[in-house]
Amino acid sequence: MKSDSVKKGMQQAPHRSLFNALGMTEEEMERPLIGIVSSYNEIVPGHMNLDKIVDAVKMGVAMAGGTPVMVPAIAVCDGIAMGHIGMKYSLVTRDLVADSTECLARAHAFDALVMVPNCDKNVPGLLMAAARINIPTVFVSGGPMLAGRVQGHKTSLSSMFEAVGAYTAGKMTEEDVKEYEQKACPTCGSCSGMYTANSMNCLTEVLGMGLKGNGTIPAVYSERLKLAKHAGMAVMELLKKNICPRDIMTEKAFRNALTMDMALGCSTNSMLHLPAIAHEAGVDLNLEIANEISAKTPNLCHLAPAGPTYIEDLNEAGGIYAVMNEINKLGLLELDCITATGKTVGDNIKGCVNKDPQVIRPVEDPYSKTGGIAILKGNLAPDSAVVKRSAVAPEMLKHEGPARVFDCEEDAIDAIKGGKIVAGDVVVIRYEGPKGGPGMREMLNPTSAIAGMGLGSTVALITDGRFSGASRGASIGHACPEAAVGGPIALVEEGDIISIDIDNHRLDVKVSDEEMAARKEKWQPRKPAVTSGYLARYAAMAAPASRGAILEI
């Protein structure tokens, strides 16, 4: 056991004295040492129940013969961080989580790990850490929030942000907004739609790093505690069999994740996180294959914000395994991948039926014959850009309009709320990429303002930043190269005609190559937005969004 290096032999007597200081018995020291990495805190609603999940995991580990030890990981609530400087500190925490977890696990010689995350960046951060550390590991998230209910209809955080836009447009009263404010987020858990947190928790299940139900069992259900106990027991089985994350997160497993990403209609942030996790696992996940996979993968789910169903509905319909089994009717999954259950994907999904064809469409009757996410290219994004196709109004799949150019999110919001954006416009928000932001902020406030003001089916938004999974409409992000390094988005001028053709994966500005070259000659890099602290270090090391915005050594 790895932990023998801190527990066995005369040289380790000082180490044992410190375990004694923890109140650890000789019997506990004889057992495998299992790190329980918990993101519990009292500021993120998705994490306020993680202390209960951790207690259940510890029970499962102990029942199976291990010694569980809780250690911490940080997390940021994207909703609370949204729309101010806090959002610059969201994506960047992914690497802090990975780095700090690596330090904790290596320094204390854990034999195995159970990761207990829940929200946007600490799920991929811990998956990155798991791949890097590569000791037996199981994930169990805190679970999704139940949907809110306003005037008899289910609702969620995305409706809350859009309500602010509707109020600005005079379509809602202050009392209406107050009702949403009180009812949109009724329980603990990750926000209730197919936003980034739930996307990544569901994809953790697909990758094989979490047990059945990891992505969908609601946070407030006692079944979630049972799942946590089983996760604790499962990691002990993985330890016995020496099944490690890199055995599970193979190239085939990532192809499965991309396939299910398309079927589920996950957040566009998955196009940042999957390549970053794959990088740590030693897998080159080129997003060029995303459109290839999308072309043959039908979109079966329209969960909020794309439609009126929520994660709790997906859970009742059979969960992720049911969607996988449905997709497998087309032979699109790699079934021989080993998973944290100790069984293969094929074994796991066998017999998992679709219990509600209104939530999980049959493959014979999909929402669309192609996947929920599209990668776009063109002279405005020569490397790539990303759009959640399943959340775009049909009339906006192909659109041309004049560019309305802003060099930061705040200026764009002022223009939108000031009534300066009209039907047909293409809002361009730049210098918000990994380096330019720095930190690649989410643009949920401007997209929600556009939707709330009734412009969601007539106005597009393009950015080198990114979008919350709660964004809907023709919201095109991750434009690469970003403005801060002189990418074409930096050269767009007010009134340029921008052409969007999502079905044909094109994103272009109707300006000649000669004119773009002339503009590039005149372009000057901007002074860095931040020159000290962690954000400055992140900006200096951040790779392009097309490569997952990983940190380059």
Query: In whole angstroms, what is the distance from residue 535 CA to residue 531 CA?
Result: 8
Q: Which residues contact 539 (CB under 8 A, 6 or more apart)?
A: 434, 435, 436, 437, 438, 439, 528, 529, 530
The packing angle between helices 196-207 and 270-280, to 10°, is 40
Query: In whole angstroms, what is the distance from residue 145 CA to residue 219 CA?
Result: 6
Alpha-carbon Rg for the chain in angstroms: 23
Q: How many CB atoms lie within 10 A of CB 41?
A: 17
Among 249, 243, 228, CA closest to 129: 249
Query: In whole angstroms, what is the distance from residue 374 CA to residue 110 CA?
Result: 40
Of 468, 471, 475, 546, the catalytic one is 468
Cross-strand partners of 114: 36, 138
Preceding amide of 305 cis, omega within 30: yes
List alpha helices for 9-168, DSSP H.
13-21, 26-30, 50-63, 78-81, 93-107, 122-133, 157-168
Return the H-helix or E-strand segment holding 67. strand 67-72
Q: Do 415 and 428 contact (CB within 8 A), yes or no?
A: no
254 Cα distance to chain centroid: 15
For the chain, what is the total number of helices (H) and then of strands (E)?
A: 22, 14
Looking at residue 398, the DSSP 8-state letter turns out to be E
Q: Do 425 and 404 contact (CB within 8 A), yes or no?
A: yes
Q: Write the CA distances from 32 to 2, 13, 28, 435, integer angstroms.
A: 8, 18, 8, 42
List alpha helices for 428-500, DSSP H.
444-452
- Taken as a whole, the chain contains a residue count of 553
Catalytic, 468? Answer yes
Query: In whole angstroms, what is the distance from residue 483 CA to residue 480 CA?
Result: 8
Max distance between CA atoms of the chain, in angstroms, equals 76
Q: Do 502 and 421 contact (CB within 8 A), yes or no?
A: no
Pairing state between β 112-116 and 137-139: parallel
Backbone angles phi, psi at 405, to 5 degrees: -100, 130
Query: In whole angstroms, what is the distance from residue 142 CA to residue 95 CA?
Result: 21
| Strands lying side by side in the sheet with 67-72 | 67-72, 33-38, 112-116, 137-139
The catalytic residues are 468
